């Protein structure tokens, strides 16, 4: 009898060592403890046993069963522990490693520049308006006192879409649109893209950005214009900027000026950037020509105003020390802070 017990339990102990997963465990368990398992089969032998020995035999088989159950129970716990450890090893992560840093960029420098201009002029009560990039020649030239025959039209000739429809050459037509749709007084700035038949180089691009400004009121003088530009350039470039108005010609203003700012690099002493002059040209401006006022139905005897236009790339290049305008359009990630 003892041999039977030893054989069964040794067999179980031997096999349990080879079990690698729950499925194999279940197969082994039913081989020993199942209805058709070895121990049940042994129990069936009871009929062949002498009646008076049956009780003893039953107790004997039950003792094998009990031990087998204990062995299996312990093996099951060990197996579960082992599988859990393997799983943990596989999924191990070093939680002390620093996390992946997400780089957060910022707006492109041109967008930032336009936003800064918004902020400065908003603080002076200006409203922001936008106009179309596809424009009529009337809004772009004629209404701005630049008729067909006018030589100034050549300086800004551009991409024609069809007769009388062009890509705007400047943001000045937004002056016309604003005045046609609004009663004076008014103060607006208008940023946007403009187009010219220019070869790209360090300071030219066939598409670039301008900001237009227009102020219409009663008794507006060049003094108002100068003070406004001084404030704008001081807030934009920092320090305390001086403005120089040099008489110039734009058909839609009278008088008209090229506007210089004192060089922020040398403080006006003269350097490479200002080519030794101490001044940097930065804007076109003037008092709105009476013909322009008449073209939009304003009475020039009652209303006057000033207007100005500047290149966004130009002032951004100066502020950020960028020497070639084409850099803005190359998708250089550094312009996005990345
Ligand atoms: N529109 C002009 C240009 O693109 C710039 C300019 C000059 C705008 C004088 C103005 C102005 O409003 O008064 O060259």
Domain total of the chain:
2
Residue 320 phi/psi, 5° resolution?
-105, 5
Given ligand 1 and candidates 129, 170, 312, which is best to mutate, with the most ligand atoms within 8 Å of its CB? Answer: 170
Ligand 1 close to Cβ of residue 308 (< 6 A): yes
Ligand 1: nearest atom to the Cα of 172: 1
pLDDT one-digit tens code per residue, 292-302 = 999 999 999 99
Q: Are residues 272 and 205 in the same domain?
A: yes
Asked if residue 153 has pLDDT above 90, the reply is: no
86 and 113 within one domain: no
The model carries a pTM of 0.72
Task: Answer yes or no: do 130 and 256 share one domain.
Answer: yes
Q: Given its phi and psi angles, is residue 331 left (phi above 0), alpha (psi -120 to 50 degrees) or beta?
A: left
Task: Identify whether the C-beta of residue 96 lies closer than 8 Å to the C-beta of residue 328.
Answer: no
Whether 27 and 149 share a structural domain: no
Residue 126 and residue 171 share a domain: yes
Would you say 310 and 210 are in contact if contact means Cβ atoms under 8 Å apart? yes
- Asked whether 166 lines ligand 1 (CB < 6 A), one says no
User: Is 103 within the bounds of a domain?
Assistant: no
Same domain, 268 and 323: yes
Domain membership of residue 244 as a residue range: 109-336
Asked if residue 102 is part of any domain, the answer here is no
- 204: pLDDT confidence band, cut at 50, 70 and 90? very high
- 52/169 same-domain check: no
Q: Is the CB of 251 under 6 A from ligand 1?
A: no
Does any domain span residue 180?
yes
* 140: pLDDT strictly greater than 80: yes
Region 163-168 average pLDDT? 93
Residues 69 and 175 both lie in one domain: no
Q: What is the DSSP string of 107-169?
A: --HHHHHHHHHHHHHHTTTPEE----SEEEHHHHTGGGT--TT-THHHHT---EEETTEEE-S
Does residue 101 belong to any structural domain of this protein? no
Q: Is the pLDDT of residue 318 over 90?
A: yes
Residues 275 and 126 in one domain: yes
Tell me, yes or no, whether 86 and 234 share the same domain.
no
| Residue 99 falls inside a structural domain | no
CATH of the domain at 199: 3.30.930.10
CB of 287 shorter than 6 A to ligand 1 = no
Report the pLDDT value the prediction gives residue 43, as an integer from 0 to 100: 87
Q: Nearest-CA neighbor of 319 among 261, 271, 257?
A: 261
């Amino acid at each position: 009898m003892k041999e039977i017990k030893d054989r069964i339990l040794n067999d179980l102990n031997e096999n349990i060592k080879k079990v690698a997963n729950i499925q194999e465990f279940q197969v082994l368990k039913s081989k020993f403890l199942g209805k058709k398992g070895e121990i049940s089969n042994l129990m069936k032998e009871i009929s062949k046993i002498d009646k008076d020995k049956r009780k003893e035999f039953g107790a004997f088989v039950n003792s094998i069963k009990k031990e087998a159950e204990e062995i299996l129970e312990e093996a099951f716990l060990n197996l579960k522990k082992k599988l859990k450890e393997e799983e943990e090893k596989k999924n191990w992560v070093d939680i002390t490693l620093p996390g992946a840093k997400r780089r957060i960029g910022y707006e492109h420098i041109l967008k930032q520049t336009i936003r800064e201009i918004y902020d400065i002029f908003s603080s002076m009560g200006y409203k922001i308006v936008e106009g179309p990039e596809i424009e009529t020649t009337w809004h772009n030239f004629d209404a701005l006192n630049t008729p067909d025959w006018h030589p100034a039209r050549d300086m800004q000739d551009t991409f024609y879409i069809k007769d009388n429809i062009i890509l705007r050459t400047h943001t000045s037509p937004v002056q016309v649109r604003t005045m046609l749709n609004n009663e004076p007084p008014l103060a607006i700035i208008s940023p946007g893209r403009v187009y010219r038949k220019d070869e790209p180089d360090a300071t030219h691009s066939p598409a670039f950005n301008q900001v237009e400004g227009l102020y219409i009121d009663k008794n507006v003088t060049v003094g108002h214009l100068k003070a406004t530009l001084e404030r704008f350039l001081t807030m934009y470039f920092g320090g305390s900027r001086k403005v120089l108005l040099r008489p110039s010609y734009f058909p839609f203003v009278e008088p008209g000026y090229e506007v210089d700012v004192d060089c922020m690099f040398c403080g006006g002493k003269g350097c490479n950037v200002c080519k030794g002059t101490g001044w940097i040209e930065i804007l076109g401006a003037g008092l709105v020509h009476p013909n322009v006022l008449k073209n939009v139905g304003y009475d020039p005897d009652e209303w006057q105003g000033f207007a100005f236009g500047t290149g966004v790339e130009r002032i951004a290049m100066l502020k950020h020390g960028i020497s070639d305008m084409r850099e803005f359009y190359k998708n250089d990630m550094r312009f996005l802070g990345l």
